[in-house]
A and B are shown apart, each in its own frame.
Chain A
Amino acid sequence: MAGAALLGRLTWRVATVTAVVDETPRVRTLELEIPGWPGHVAGQHVDVRLTAEDGYRAERAYSLASAPGEPPVITVERLEDGEVSPYLTEDVRPGEAFEVRGPIGGYFVWRPHDGGPLFLAAGGSGVVPMRAILRHRRHSKSEVRARLLYSSPTLEDVIYRAELDGEEVVHTLTRAQPPGWTGYARRVDADLLREVAWPAEDRPLAFVCGPTSFVESVAAGLVELGYAPGRIKTERFGATGGR
């Protein structure tokens, strides 16, 4: 980032919804048009701010799902007691607008020259920034190997299912499996990582995103396999943090 871009105000901008895609019964993707959008890096997020008629404001962070060069896209999972996600997943229609600021983040990001091989581990909607990374890798014709380990409760909860079919993805379904399921059917543990993750000798670059408990156990498991802690990037989200 240039010096001029580093020192500046991160301003709230108006984002207009241009398209809505239902990914699963609880998850929705929103394509946004944001005048003055400066472009983003794969892995970054935006803060979304909603203001009620009485002036009450709520802010949540949502990862960007689109690759650099594409218009900003967020994917939102509905939290039943959420202040922001019910509006974004149920009520909002194309043409409607809300405030965003971003792009945000310089840690959980991947650029092609960062190399790999990439080992991506996602729990639930933790797959959102992984989609941006995988798309960017594809668009930039990067030859970096990439493998995604993706944990979901059921097959119905898998986000971006069709798109991910074109990638090297290992699914694990932790709550229920369809008849004939031959993939993993348990929570990610050290044994599963040993079977799925690139060997530590390859000096992989790992990105781990999901609920706090998922991130903690995967990161610990990768360290156990010999991954360098400095090459494991983590991002945790929860009911209070959005994403």
Chain B
Amino acid sequence: MEALDGNAIGGMLYHVFGCEMTMAQAECGRCGACGPVAECEVYLGGPGVVVRCRICHTIVMVLVKVREMMCVDLGGLSKLERAT
């Protein structure tokens, strides 16, 4: 499956967080790389959305819609900070 990037889930993240999130800074919990969500690797083809660190490819976010409820796992991130 080909990786897209965080731009592709801007609408979904806006829906979840209530604000623009592609410029938010995401810090990988494994390698510490930090950059805008827009630059993360995004895989859309599965049952949910998988977001990986562009540097070490660790899974940093998973978003799955279950019965109209969006379940969000941010366990792979050490920080997610909205741009000011």
A interface list, Cβ under 8 A from B: 1, 6-10, 45-47, 59, 61, 101-102, 104-108, 212, 233-243
The answer for the CA separation of A240 and B75 in the assembled complex, in Å, is 25
- The residues of A that contact B28 with a CB separation of less than 8 Å are none
- The residues of B that contact A105 with a CB separation of less than 8 Å are 7, 10, 20, 22, 38
The answer for the CA separation of A1 and B36 in the assembled complex, in Å, is 18
Q: Give the distance to chain A from B12, nearest Cβ to Cβ, in Å.
A: 8
The interface size bin for chain B is: 20 to 34
B44 touches A106 (CB 8 A): no
- The residues of B that contact A235 with a CB separation of less than 8 Å are 5, 7, 38
B19 touches A6 (CB 8 A): yes
B13's closest neighbor in chain A, by CB? A104
A106 touches B8 (CB 8 A): no
Interface of B is mostly: mixed
- The residues of A that contact B44 with a CB separation of less than 8 Å are 240-241
B interface list, Cβ under 8 A from A: 1-8, 10-11, 14-15, 18-20, 22-23, 36-39, 44-45, 83
B23 touches A106 (CB 8 A): yes
- The residues of B that contact A1 with a CB separation of less than 8 Å are 20
A45 touches B10 (CB 8 A): yes
A10 touches B5 (CB 8 A): no
- The residues of B that contact A101 with a CB separation of less than 8 Å are 11, 15
B20's closest neighbor in chain A, by CB? A106
B21's closest neighbor in chain A, by CB? A106
- The residues of A that contact B7 with a CB separation of less than 8 Å are 45, 61, 105, 107-108, 235-236
- The residues of B that contact A106 with a CB separation of less than 8 Å are 10, 20, 22-23, 83
